[in-house]
Amino acid sequence: MILILKPNIDADSREYKRLESYLVGLRGIETRIHKVQGALQQITEVHLIGNTAALSLDEMRALPAVEHVIRVSEEYRMLGRHKDDSRPAEFNYQGLTFSQDNLHIFAGLCAVDSAASVEEMMKALKANGQVCTRMGAYKPRTSPYSFQGHGKKCLPYVFELAGKYGIKVIAMEITHESHLDEICEALETTGQPTGVMLQIGTRNTQNFELLKIVGRQQEFPVLLKRGFGITLDESLHAAEYLASEGNQRIIFALRGMKTNIGDPHRNMVDFAHVPAVKRLTRMPVCIDPSHSVGSRHRSSDGILDLFHITAQGVIAGANMILVDFHPDPRSAVVDGPQALRLDELSHFLDDVHIVRQAYETRRSRTYVATAK
Amino acid sequence: MILILKPNIDADSREYKRLESYLVGLRGIETRIHKVQGALQQITEVHLIGNTAALSLDEMRALPAVEHVIRVSEEYRMLGRHKDDSRPAEFNYQGLTFSQDNLHIFAGLCAVDSAASVEEMMKALKANGQVCTRMGAYKPRTSPYSFQGHGKKCLPYVFELAGKYGIKVIAMEITHESHLDEICEALETTGQPTGVMLQIGTRNTQNFELLKIVGRQQEFPVLLKRGFGITLDESLHAAEYLASEGNQRIIFALRGMKTNIGDPHRNMVDFAHVPAVKRLTRMPVCIDPSHSVGSRHRSSDGILDLFHITAQGVIAGANMILVDFHPDPRSAVVDGPQALRLDELSHFLDDVHIVRQAYETRRSRTYVATAK
Amino acid sequence: MILILKPNIDADSREYKRLESYLVGLRGIETRIHKVQGALQQITEVHLIGNTAALSLDEMRALPAVEHVIRVSEEYRMLGRHKDDSRPAEFNYQGLTFSQDNLHIFAGLCAVDSAASVEEMMKALKANGQVCTRMGAYKPRTSPYSFQGHGKKCLPYVFELAGKYGIKVIAMEITHESHLDEICEALETTGQPTGVMLQIGTRNTQNFELLKIVGRQQEFPVLLKRGFGITLDESLHAAEYLASEGNQRIIFALRGMKTNIGDPHRNMVDFAHVPAVKRLTRMPVCIDPSHSVGSRHRSSDGILDLFHITAQGVIAGANMILVDFHPDPRSAVVDGPQALRLDELSHFLDDVHIVRQAYETRRSRTYVATAK
Amino acid sequence: MILILKPNIDADSREYKRLESYLVGLRGIETRIHKVQGALQQITEVHLIGNTAALSLDEMRALPAVEHVIRVSEEYRMLGRHKDDSRPAEFNYQGLTFSQDNLHIFAGLCAVDSAASVEEMMKALKANGQVCTRMGAYKPRTSPYSFQGHGKKCLPYVFELAGKYGIKVIAMEITHESHLDEICEALETTGQPTGVMLQIGTRNTQNFELLKIVGRQQEFPVLLKRGFGITLDESLHAAEYLASEGNQRIIFALRGMKTNIGDPHRNMVDFAHVPAVKRLTRMPVCIDPSHSVGSRHRSSDGILDLFHITAQGVIAGANMILVDFHPDPRSAVVDGPQALRLDELSHFLDDVHIVRQAYETRRSRTYVATAK
């Protein structure tokens, strides 16, 4: 059961104290407080864990500090959509709103290879009006003998260049808690020129210890990729590890499933789950067409599979796109074959724009609303 | 190697005779003649099988009967896209053109349960300007104790009602060669009021004997569904069984893969393969959203997953949609949970129209052509 | 519900007539009679289909013709193991008993390529005391351009050579009903020198029309292979198509699942399902190590993977082994890489013998019985 | 390329110095030194990384410090079996030898729930002559709201009880580097009464940062479980992360793959890969029947699937068994349905013994050796 308290309630107020003394009196019920910072106000949620079936909704609602009561179902306690659950599916970061209703594009380098590449990329983003990017500093690789990313060494110039070209948020994968410290330090050293969205990759979707640590900090939002050998349900439960530790600023990313059924694509594209994740949870949903497709093949209509697969996510309501570009794909140290060229960035944005408009037209039809 | 002969060439002409005598002289080469009826003219293809590596393209081109020579790659000899292969990716049936460039919608009953249902469906189709439908008479079911379809008993009224309401093509699954005879007979008895597209279901994708028999007749086009436990490559090879027997009027259908990775959908949606199949072969590509999704759930934006998944196929260039409707889904004997209601037909068509327009806008962009 | 009648009951007897008149009086219940020929006697089963929940077991038991009553669960009506179901899990053919308690080895040619190969194989089998074999005349192949088997042309010499070398049963795949006629004809022409076990391959596991036709004849037992893209449950339901048409002489074969998770083996070995199928149904279970492994690699202990995987099936109680041999694997037209050489036949039999003995020792332990 | 130096070579010796100066002179070659402690002597391996194709084997062999030179293939540099690679596939720990030639059984608690359970388990192990066990203190669970294990709190009594009952090695999963410190501390506090084999679970197979940390310590051997959504090849590469950091005392564990193809078992049993892993690498191979099967069902022969699946691993040469027992499976907090009872321990050991003997008989056949 979740009690949504009145906005901006003061922990020293009389009504809050009365709530506390009431809760202390409940036997066999554990209490957890979560504070959710919205665009306009701070919401306090009180989560009651244990044998809540016996609790009275009416008694709860009668408490003066309580604005709303949600009886949660078993699944996805923090992030799920429960009955009478009107909590928003959005959060703010760096002046941007991330929600199930809008769309952000994070085009960038799969792996940072040099300051020159980073600058070319940033320059192209700025020229195309983009304020978000992806930059891979820590690269988990199948083999220990492959390039593992430049790590903390590249952070200062990545952040500085981001600031120089007006980038507000960089999606960056981390694979160990120490990377979080390194990112904080580099941001501080460089004067906080940009923001970071921490990315948890598909190999670490069930690295619960890392999720807990990332969940305990509330500075950076988290982009959690679906695990490639587990069910969707299990990946959504992994997101609960983040949320239950306190950080609900989570975007869930689909990136394709590893199975030869997906050939000739690199992975089996799973963007049909975009509407499903939005139904099951309140998380915005990201798609990663680059890792799904893994090549630059194009269809008989002359359009790249990469564009087509991106369009499939967007037409179904995807809220974020993570896509690989590179100034010179042939020389990229990681995943070059799937990277788009910088001169294709405007085409890509144009293509996404057409599709997003079609999605918004679909959504505006009256039968959509009335059919609910 | 394939020799494309001059259009409408006469088998009694001197140049044709000269070709024949030339081919007889080739050692270790088997010859197969395929006639392909296009919209305007008949094309004769001569397929040379065996050790063709040693043959001279120039000699072939010099033969007066020969217009064009294609050196086929190993894969998909009849249906693939080979170098210098300009054969069209389309065919005509019942006055309609089926190609990789356009889109047809086949809304209808998964399983025929009564003449009343059929008439209600046909009426709704006519009211919405539709001339194609799907009607299941022969139903392969997991258990022998489940309803197996009304079979040939329902054919007369299905065909008559189709004629009455102006339906030109019915997609109808067959699971045995005798069904082909039954369909021919019922069409004749009822005066050929409509046309039929023979559907081979996912359980019979590698029922090669059935494919050969269906491939030997050229009256009906064939809708071949992808096999659900095999690779895409294997399913495309299955289509070659149809083509190599003489029938190249084939549409390839994606219908989802059977794996629990696809949960909560009934199957793992595989429409990302729409552009891939169009690149690898010259077949138009159909999508079957009903069997892929298997439910009437809707996303947080109020749109049904069924609509979203259909949109994903269409935005990537799908050429045909096979979709289940029913006048009363709750009473449907087969797959009721995934059927749309008749009052949703206009919404569905409207939604598809929006998305198809977006696809055509995407395709018209200049960078698409220039990037080829 | 299934009524097991008294052994060898006469359809003209008074008690049988009384049963018939009783059954006619049951409303909404359909009746099917199945006769099962056992080693010593013929068993008549009366299957009651429909709303049987309301029927009284006591009334049924009181009928003089009835020896035993089984209330079937939903699953696997004919072949399943129901409560109080003591029907035997075995059948006889050509003087051999096939049951869940014993083991038969079918070593032979994946594909018949020449009479010489067949004779060499048969000779080796006789020299090693074998009376069963596998011989592929009809070969379903992924591509229509691959060798499709010698078909009916090879049947006469295959059957004659079988007779010459004392082979009692040949497992032979068929892919169309006409093959059944061709086999019957060739057996008759050659004087019934041997027996045939009809094999339904993994591509036809859900070719229900073929299953029904094969199920309607009772002359030949059937070896049904598991479908490679469907669940075990669905494959077991396919076996019901055979049984519900009248033929319960079925062996269920495991042959590996198609998924890259099984690499470096050709398929993902699924022999862990040997005990599961024996628990769920009364069918003897066959394993096909050749198609599962697909190569001649050996482990660091010097033993071929083919031997190891066979051993895994046998140690868990497999009842039949289908294994590819060839006089000259390098020249085999189909699946040469997975074939064993004739000089390895005695090693193979020796290895299987060691493992089967261990299985029988395991089964004889007192705690096995008492733990039931 | 790997240089195996003379046993027990002194880093201050003249021949070692000469080797060093030679290596320094090689351009573009990185050098890593690995020391491998065998039963009798310490082996020093010098790994040359980079463009080694141009190096001369003869020059290397001529160096007085070098005993043997191995040109490694691309795959599994440290753990693979390369040409002329006679390095042993074994290691010692706590007086026990773990190798590809023998078998150890680790029966124990999936999750430690109380000191009483631990003591009952230990007592039963001692009574049955066992010196190894499994004990789960840190439990990664799909949901953050499930029991996560007693963690470091239970370590002191687990270790003390192990010592009291003569247990030499406990397999224990860790999910974070801090658990390694906690285990070291608890062992020290309790006086090192037993040894620990660090277990990396299937969710962390590609948690490369954890693997690197565990690989850097050489005190504890590591049991690495296969990742459940990745290929075998990828899981074997994960083992290289351990080895390349210095710890080659690794056992590779098969535990079933997550896919509904495995139903009705909890996972798809993958023990057919036992011989494959032993061929591809020098790691001993462990099987985990409990997590593969996930239930206590038994076959029609009265034997538990758990026993059958264990037998399948052992008959193919498995070197270690990880199996769940519990004094009272119904009250177990984690995975009770798959646990065996303590009174079944002797049956289990008896069953394994029969099968292992059969395996050893198979291995002793002369044709095995000669066929190599």
Tell me the DSSP string of C228-245: TTS-HHHHHHHHHHHHHT
CB D211 within 8 A of CB D227: no
Which of D230, D260, D267, D268 to mutate against chain B (most B CBs within 10 Å)?
Answer: D260
Beta-carbon-side half-sphere exposure of residue B43 (alpha carbons within 13 Å): 19
Q: A261: distance to nearest CA of chain C, Å?
A: 8
CB nearest B144 (choices: C231, C241, C257) = C241
- State which amino acid sits at residue C335: D
pLDDT above 60 for B319: yes
Q: Do A209 and D175 touch (CB under 8 A)?
A: yes
- The DSSP symbol for C6 reads P
CB C299 within 8 A of CB D291: no
Cβ-based contacts of A350 with chain B (< 8 Å):
365, 367
CB nearest B230 (choices: C176, C229, C234) = C229
- Read off the tokens for B93: 């049936």
What DSSP string describes D218-243?
Answer: -SS-EEEEPPTTS-HHHHHHHHHHHH
Among B220-229, B320-329, C4-13, C185-194, which is the least confidently predicted range? C4-13
What's the pLDDT score for residue A1? Answer: 86
What's the pLDDT score for residue B74? Answer: 67
Strand bridging mode C66-70 / C96-99: unpaired
pLDDT above 60 for A370: no
In percent, the amount of chain C with pLDDT more than 90 equals 71
Q: Among all residues of chain A, which has the CA nearest to that of C259?
A: A260
- Read off the tokens for B40: 């305007």
Rounded to whole angstroms, how far apart are CA atoms A100 and C13? 75
pLDDT above 70 for B369: no
- Neighbours of D, requiring at least 3 CB pairs below 8 Å, are A, B, C
Q: Among all residues of chain C, which has the CA nearest to that of B206?
A: C203
What's the pLDDT score for residue D1? Answer: 86
- Read off the tokens for B313: 């196929």
The phi and psi torsions of B258 (rounded to 5 degrees) equal -85, 105
- Per-residue pLDDT band at B371 (split at 50, 70, 90): very low
Cβ-based contacts of D262 with chain C (< 8 Å):
272
Mean pLDDT of the C73-79 span? 82
Q: What is the pLDDT of residues C197-218, one digit of tens each?
A: 999 999 999 999 999 999 999 9
Q: D268: distance to nearest CA of chain C, Å?
A: 8
CB D351 within 8 A of CB C360: no
Q: Among all residues of chain C, which has the CA nearest to that of A261?
A: C259
Rounded to whole angstroms, how far apart are CA atoms D225 and D255? 7
pLDDT greater at residue B208 or residue A24: B208
Rounded to whole angstroms, how far apart are CA atoms A363 and A317? 9
Q: Which residues contact A40 (CB under 8 A, 6 or more apart)?
A: none
Cβ-based contacts of C350 with chain D (< 8 Å):
365, 367
Q: Which residues of C touch A (CB under 8 A)?
A: 259-261
Q: Could you tell me the strand order of the sheet in which C2-5 lies?
A: C29-37, C42-50, C2-5, C66-70
Q: Which residues of B touch D (CB under 8 A)?
A: 259-261
Give chain B's largest Cα–Cα span: 69
H helices of chain D, where? Answer: 14-24, 57-62, 115-127, 155-164, 177-189, 208-216, 232-244, 274-280, 289-293, 305-315, 345-364, 366-371
CB C298 within 8 A of CB D279: yes
Q: A177: distance to nearest CA of chain D, Å?
A: 10
What's the pLDDT score for residue D371? Answer: 45
Which residues of chain D are under the pLDDT cut of 50? 371-372
- State which amino acid sits at residue A65: A
- Beta carbons within 10 angstroms of residue B125's beta carbon: 24
- Read off the tokens for D199: 């277990």
Q: D153: distance to nearest CA of chain A, Å?
A: 18
Q: Do A268 and B261 touch (CB under 8 A)?
A: yes
Rounded to whole angstroms, how far apart are CA atoms C43 and C36? 5
Report the candidate in A233, A266, A265 with the shortest Cα–Cα distance to residue A252. A233
CB B106 within 8 A of CB B322: yes
- The DSSP symbol for C339 reads P
Report the candidate in A202, A191, A237, A197 with the shortest Cα–Cα distance to residue A214. A197
- Beta carbons within 10 angstroms of residue A218's beta carbon: 14
Average pLDDT of chain C? 92
CB C280 within 8 A of CB C272: no
Q: B259: distance to nearest CA of chain D, Å?
A: 7
User: How many residues comprise chain A?
Assistant: 372
| C-alpha triplet C358, C361, C366: angle, nearest 5° | 150
pLDDT above 90 for C34: no
CB B320 within 8 A of CB B103: yes
Rounded to whole angstroms, how far apart are CA atoms C185 and D116? 72
- Read off the tokens for A28: 């066999």
Report the candidate in A334, A344, A293 with the shortest Cα–Cα distance to residue A112. A334
What's the pLDDT score for residue D74? Answer: 67
SS in 3 state form for D52-91? HHHCCHHHHHHCCCEEEEECCCCCCCCCECCCCCCCCCEE
Element (H, E) at B184: helix B177-189
- Helix, strand, coil percentages for chain A (3-state, nearest 5): 40, 20, 40
CB nearest B299 (choices: A279, A298, A344) = A279
Report the candidate in D231, D340, D344 with the shortest Cα–Cα distance to residue D280. D231
What's the pLDDT score for residue A50? Answer: 79
Rounded to whole angstroms, how far apart are CA atoms C120 and C265? 29
Q: Which residues contact B158 (CB under 8 A, 6 or more apart)?
A: B112, B118, B135, B137, B170
In percent, the amount of chain A with pLDDT more than 70 equals 98
Cα separations in angstroms, B94 against B131, B171, C299:
10, 13, 61
The structure tokens 């006409």 sit at C178
CB C254 within 8 A of CB C285: yes
What's the pLDDT score for residue A87? Answer: 79
Q: What is the ipTM of this complex?
A: 0.91
Average pLDDT of chain A? 92
Q: What is the pLDDT of residues C125-172, one digit of tens each?
A: 999 999 999 999 999 998 888 889 999 999 999 999 999 999 999 999
CB nearest A272 (choices: B269, B275, B279) = B269
What DSSP string describes B131-159?
Answer: -EEEB-SS---SSTTS----GGGGHHHHH
Mean pLDDT of the C16-44 span? 83
Q: B284: distance to nearest CA of chain A, Å?
A: 11
Q: Do B237 and C144 touch (CB under 8 A)?
A: yes
Element (H, E) at A68: strand A66-70
Rounded to whole angstroms, how far apart are CA atoms D112 and D172? 10
In percent, the amount of chain B with pLDDT more than 70 equals 98
Element (H, E) at D253: strand D250-254
Q: What is the pLDDT of residues B95-110, one digit of tens each?
A: 999 999 999 999 999 9
Q: What is the pLDDT of residues C86-128, one digit of tens each?
A: 777 789 999 999 999 999 999 999 999 999 999 999 999 999 9
Q: Do D258 and A231 touch (CB under 8 A)?
A: yes
CB A241 within 8 A of CB A247: no
Cβ-based contacts of C257 with chain D (< 8 Å):
261, 268
Q: Do C363 and D303 touch (CB under 8 A)?
A: yes
